[in-house]
Structure 1
Amino acid sequence: MFFETTIDKRSKKAMIDFLAGHYRYNTMNGWNHSTSYAHCIKVNKLGLTSEQSNAAYDMLQTDFWNEIDEPIADFTSEMSGSYTIGTNGRSNGYLVLYKSEYELTGFKSYCRTCGQRNFKLVHDAAKSADHAFIEAYVFRNGGCWVDAIYLAEPAIAAIELSDEEKLSMVQSAKLACKDATIGNKCGACGTEGEHGRVNYTRPQKRLSVSGKNVDQNEDFSEWSLPELRNRVELVRRFDQACDEIRDNFIGLISTCKVVEEVVMIPKTVKRIECCHAS
């Protein structure tokens, strides 16, 4: 354990001292004056050897973060999205505990080719040809007509079904077209069919992170023992996650090296092309 410490959760004083004395840092910029529990993860604060420090400074020149940040996802999942961990500071040299929550994105389908997401479902077409025809008719104008107008349309009136059956199909199509499209053509890349849009199997969520303070200027003496224990467990779990990130970073610099390579980047330019008279 580097950041994590052992706390006697039978002692109210020990828990208060732990929470009140924990290192803190800004949740956003200094101007918002909001702070939360934090740890400094600058290279010179990680307890590294001289050799490890040299390797660490080399690693900082690469996009290494995705290689070591899995403990953040684990922590956020354990907290059911109520808390997460983020970096802050001009050089992202601090890990900070943030309040957060999951929010529905509203996306209901996505393209299997380009990944473009869509706020509408892919509607399952009706099995019968007559029903599918009425659905397509309603979808084409967004279901904006009153029911009687659809029934009076020559193409629909010619269908050999009772008005009650056709009315039921019109009404169900009007409801469906508010939230769906017929066909699965992607509006971005144009792909449809087997590689076009498909519905998500579960509601899509994103994590919304708050810059509000966590326990800033809190008077823990007024907290009950269960409340203190719960908060200590949260902060210790945060400390543990920070330790795991540190361990991952040390593992990375111990097993990987930074190599330099030249990458050719295509660039589109405009030039002058003149036609000269012969």
Structure 2
Amino acid sequence: MDKAWEMLDCSEVRWAIDTRLQEWAQEYNWTWQAGFNGRSGGYLVLYQGGLNRKNARTARCDLCGRSTWHKADTPCTTDGCIGLLRVLPEPEPKIITWPGRSVDQGEDFSQWYMSDLRKRVRLVCSFDRLCDDVVDIFVGFCRDYEMVETEVLVPTTIKTLQPTTGD
């Protein structure tokens, strides 16, 4: 149990799980997404969402990765960045999510067409398989790895005052 709790803080574990969640959302063109919810992020939730193409970003800095709406290659506008904002081959829409928006809560399924019900059942089964995938990923990390703490020294520059020599 302790090992599992430690794994939750590991960036590699989060990255692997987030990657799987993004792959699943892409299969649905971001119309359906999954994310963690609860006080400790303890369960997966099905969200509605989509892509905002109206405000799609058109350029990205080749150095810092900042996205903008520039229509031509231009120097990056981020302070201190010497990169170039390059126009993207296709505008990059923003992913939108509606957390808290209920999915089928209070829905009267007797009014649905059979084809729509089948589509919803396929979605729920797909979400269920996604949850199994996430559990498998996490259990795999717990089984195959152990958490090791490593101390990393980071050099930093500080400024101090020294008396002038009077020359």
TM normalised by structure 2 equals 0.82
**What RMSD over aligned residues (CA atoms) do the two structures have, in Å?**
2.4
Distance 2:159 2:62 in 1: 34
Number of aligned residues = 162
CA deviations on 1:99-146 (whole Å, 9 max, x unpaired) are 001113432222223323331122xxxxxxxxxxxxxxxxxxxxxxxx
Of structures 1 and 2, the one scoring higher in RCO (CA 8 A, sep 6+) is 1
CA contact (8 A) 1:69 1:245 kept: no
Q: Does 1:79 align with 2:41?
A: no
Q: Deviations over 1:16-41 (max 9, x none)?
A: xxxxxxxxxxxxxxxxxxxxxxxxxx
- The CA deviation at 1:275 is 4.3
Task: Give, in whole Å, the separation in 2 of the partners of 1:88 and 1:223.
Answer: 29
Q: Superposition pairs for residues 33-72 of structure 1, below 5 Å?
A: 53-63=1-11, 64-72=13-21
Question: Hey, what's the Cα distance between the residues in 1 that align with 2:76 and 2:9?
Answer: 39
**What SS is found at the alignment partner of 2:90?**
coil
Any gaps of 5 or more consecutive residues in structure 2? none
- 1:271, CA displacement in angstroms? 4.1
Residue 220 of structure 1 and its aligned partner are, at CA, apart by 2.2
- 2:63–2:82 CA contact under 8 A, matched in 1: no
How much has 1:197 moved relative to structure 2?
3.1
Is 1:96–2:45 an aligned residue pair?
Answer: yes
Per-residue CA shift, 1:75-112, capped at 9, x if unaligned?
Answer: 21221211100111121111000000111343222222
- Structure 1 or 2: larger strand share? 2
Asked whether the equivalents of residues 57 and 94 of structure 2 are also in contact (C-alpha less than 8 Å), the reply is no
Q: Which runs of 4+ in 1 moved over 6 A?
A: none
| Bigger radius of gyration among the two | 1
TM-score, scaled relative to structure 1: 0.52
Question: Mind listing any 5+ residue stretches in structure 1 that lack a counterpart?
Answer: 1-52, 123-182
Q: Hey, what's the Cα distance between the residues in 2 that align with 1:271 and 1:90?
A: 44
Structure 1 residue 110 and structure 2 residue 110: aligned?
Answer: no
Residues 61 and 97 from structure 1, CA distance in 2 versus in 1: closer, same or farther, beyond 3 angstroms?
A: same
Aligned equivalents of 1:78, 1:200: Cα separation in 2: 22
Q: Secondary structure of the residue that 1:259 maps to in structure 2?
A: coil
For 1:157, the equivalent position in structure 2 comes to none
Give distance in 2, aligned partners of 1:265 and 1:223: 60
The answer to which structure has the higher helix fraction is 1
* Equivalent residue number for residue 184 of structure 1: 74
